[in-house]
Structure 1
Amino acid sequence: MDTARLLALVEAGKEPLRTFLIAHSNNAERGFFLKSAQRLLPPARRADLSVDDFIVIVPAFTVSELTAAFQIGFLIFLPFLIIDLVVANILLALGMMMMSPTTVSLPFKLLLFVLIDGWAKLVHGLVLTYG
């Protein structure tokens, strides 16, 4: 593939990618990265910088996706934390202080994840962030 054809393909795919990134990034993040870029770039580049430039929307999209991923991870973590606390309390009530609660709670966590169809919920949560 020659360079001219590659550049033509990049130019053809640039606008659909820009539209996708803008649609799935947070306005506050785009504003933050625009202000940061205006502060960090030399004065010659500041004049033609806009909120739709890739230097602004790519990091804004990345931070928006990381935020959604951490929210999903936190929602998955909460039931596992509750299982850990319950198992630890039961083991202490039975006088088994030397037994590791993690060893006992891991099968319960796996069982819960399988019973609630965790992989499907995880994938649905990720896919629905693009809806």
Structure 2
Amino acid sequence: MILLALLSTKPLPPLPHIFGRGVDSGSVPWTILFTLTLLTLLPAIVLSMTPMVRLLVVFHFLRQALGTQTAPSNQVLMGLGLMMTWFLIQPVLADVEKQAVDPFRQGQLTGLEAIERGCDPPRLYMLRYAREKDLALFTAAALVPKPNRPQDLPLRVVAPAYMLSELKAGFEIGAVLFLPFLLVDMIVASITTSIGMFQLPPVVISTPLKILLFVMADGWNLLAGSLLKSF
């Protein structure tokens, strides 16, 4: 989250030492190493700590329900998921910039202090959607003492609990999304079977009907609106 906020704002001044406020000759290699490590982990962070988990699950359920196999392609679904994720996560990035990035630029915080402060807004965001059952599971597995409030849980507990909760929510939405298209498949299969069209696979007829139904109902608009309202 800190890295996303850094990339979305004005360039940084000369890089300070990531573990302190001063600049020395040995600070640049450590800063480069730290930045490259964050860039390597960025895809995993985006997939695990943002709404993209739920969005991608629902999009793939939709593609399976329509029976279009590879349309839209994975790249298109990933791009749509990234844009919607960027739209939804903007308030969190603004909080990260205000609490961590700006003080770090002004030299008021060290790198480690900025990271610690910058983790608070994403933690609060994930706690909003993480189920208590999932939080309890990872709290017990990590042998973490039960905190007085959920905000005191470490990020290593909150992040996997959030992912499980988002996967559950995505599967719930996908199951509901599947039902009308399943109904079309059943109707087409019963009709083709009753008139003796055994050599014609029902999917050949049902797929264009499902696509037509989805387009006529303005499905993408309805789906995007429902997903945005679910957050």
More helix by share: 1
The reply to whether residue 107 of structure 1 matches residue 208 of structure 2 is yes
The 5 A counterparts of 1:6-45 are 6-38=111-143
- Cα deviation, 1:90-122, whole Å, max 9, x if unaligned, reads 111111111010011001110111122221222
Task: State the alpha-carbon separation in 1 of the partners of residues 141 and 221 from structure 2.
Answer: 38
Mean alpha-carbon deviation: is it higher for 86-95 or for 110-119? 110-119
Is the 1:88–1:101 Cα contact (8 Å) retained in structure 2?
yes
Misfit runs of 4+, over 3 Å: 4-9
Q: Identity rate of aligned residues, in percent?
A: 34
Mean alpha-carbon deviation: is it higher for 7-16 or for 94-103? 7-16
**Count of residues in correspondence between the two structures:** 122
Give the alignment's Cα RMSD to 1 decimal. Answer: 1.9
Task: State the alpha-carbon separation in 2 of the partners of residues 90 and 97 from structure 1.
Answer: 11
The answer for the alignment partner of 2:98 in structure 1 is none
TM-score, scaled relative to structure 2: 0.49
Task: State the alpha-carbon separation in 1 of the partners of residues 136 and 118 from structure 2.
Answer: 24
Is the 1:26–1:61 Cα contact (8 Å) retained in structure 2?
yes
- Cα deviation, 1:4-63, whole Å, max 9, x if unaligned, reads 45434422311111111111211111011111222xxxxxxx45x745111111011101
The answer for the alignment partner of 2:18 in structure 1 is 3
The answer for the alignment partner of 1:63 in structure 2 is 164
TM-score, scaled relative to structure 1: 0.82
Q: Work out which of the residue numbers 68, 74, 85 in structure 1 matches 2:186.
A: 85
